[in-house]
Amino acid sequence: MSNQGPYGPPPGQYPPPQYPAQYPPQYPAQYPPQQPYYGPGPGFGFGFGGNGYPPPPKKKSKAVFIVVPIVLVFGAVGLFLVSAVLKHNSDDTYTQPQPTATEQPTEQATEQPTGPATTSAPATTRPAKTTTTTQPTATRTTPAQPSDLDMVAKNKIYRSGVMASVGCRESGARPNTVTNARKYYANLISCLVRAWPKQVTMSGGRFVPPRLVAFAGSATSPCSGNAPSSFYCSSNRTIYLDAGGDVKLYQQLHNNSEAMGWVRAEMTDTVAHEFGHHVQNMVGILQADDNLRYEYSGDKSLEMSRRLEIQATCFGNVFMGANRSSYGISGALKRGLDYLHSHQGDEYGAQRDHGSRAIIPRWANAGFSTRSPRACNTFTASPTYVR
């Protein structure tokens, strides 16, 4: 899920929106498993879904479970918010211990007479010789699993290098219908599917393309029940996108080219952010962060949520930076992206779970300019930079 804010294009030149600026979650919040992670937060929020497994018992902790709902954001003419929530589930892999070899002694006894038998000299028998053969013991150890803190802070994704351009071009489809909005999303997701495999496999993850669901009104998923905005659900690896909201935006703003740059930016940003949660899922960050937030409480749990959401925004901008030329990220589209990032923040939401509008541009710009996941390690950043 992304961040929160008075979502919509720059004020002053567009008609007022004809739909509510922000929707409260319509589903019960639930901890780690099956929690949807919404798109850019209030104002704009991104999120993820759960893995469908029951949460592990806390270790001697009486802390109250903290549920981190992800605020949805739809932007239109100064107010509309569009996006949703994501979650991670990664399968732990274990190396089974191998049986070891044992030592088995081998005995060979021989009887040999000392000389020819005579009637006067009975034959004597020498003592039997015993030969023991020792086979070496093969020893195999099971490698220790990384801790949740190591998984989020020392993940190999940060050493996967600069992302190469895949020559992604923006779709010519415009969201005048739900079908055309889906075409816009599908084109962008096809680019993301070509862009991220190298980084994911170098991180030890298995790349699996996500599914896409474009909806109008609300969507039902294993993570959320009914959700009113865009989000990512990790239990079925599906990105759910609010096509109905984007159609409303288009209907209000399509006659203004500058405003349409903002609509295109909103759609691009939302898809890239939600795919960022999918990347977190494939490399193990999503589940590890869920585990940590489950163990923590209060402000510390919210801080871990902010680190996750801000990183998804940064990952999305790594892709956009790598494909800036072919995609045409300049002019009205670039101004729309910059406006979005500076107007997404927890200042407009009920919880501090996505990051403030003061710091979101910093991480978005870092991902865009470096084109490397290395710039997106929010989990080692000072709390000041994920506030």
Question: What are the φ/ψ torsions at residue 20 (nearest 5 degrees)?
Answer: -60, 145
What kind and span of H or E run contains 233? strand 231-233
pLDDT tens digits, 179-223: 999 999 999 999 999 999 999 999 999 999 999 999 999 999 999
Report whether pLDDT(327) > 90: yes
Cβ(320)–Cβ(335) below 8 Å = no
More confident residue, 53 or 139: 139
Rounded to the nearest 5 percent, the helix, strand and coil shares of the chain are 40, 5, 55
Predicted TM-score (pTM) of this structure = 0.70
CA distances from 10 to 44, 135, 236, 356, 380 (A): 14, 77, 36, 18, 33
Give me the amino acid identity at 138. A
pLDDT digits (tens, 9 = 90+) for 69-91: 333 333 333 333 333 333 333 33
Q: Cα–Cα distance between 382 and 387 in angstroms, integer?
A: 9
E strands in 35-112? 37-38
> Which of 13-17, 35-39, 347-351 is the most confident on average?
347-351
pLDDT for 178: 98
pLDDT beyond 60 at 94: no
Q: Where are the domains of the chain?
A: 37-91+145-386
Please write the tens of the pLDDT for every residue from 340-377: 999 987 776 677 888 889 999 999 999 999 999 999 99
Q: What is the pLDDT of residue 227?
A: 76
pLDDT of 50 over the 70 cut:
no
- Predicted local distance difference test score (pLDDT) of residue 351: 79
- What percentage of the chain reaches a pLDDT higher than 70? 63
Q: What is the per-residue pLDDT for 87?
A: 33
Query: Whole-angstrom Cα distance, residue 387 to residue 354?
Result: 9
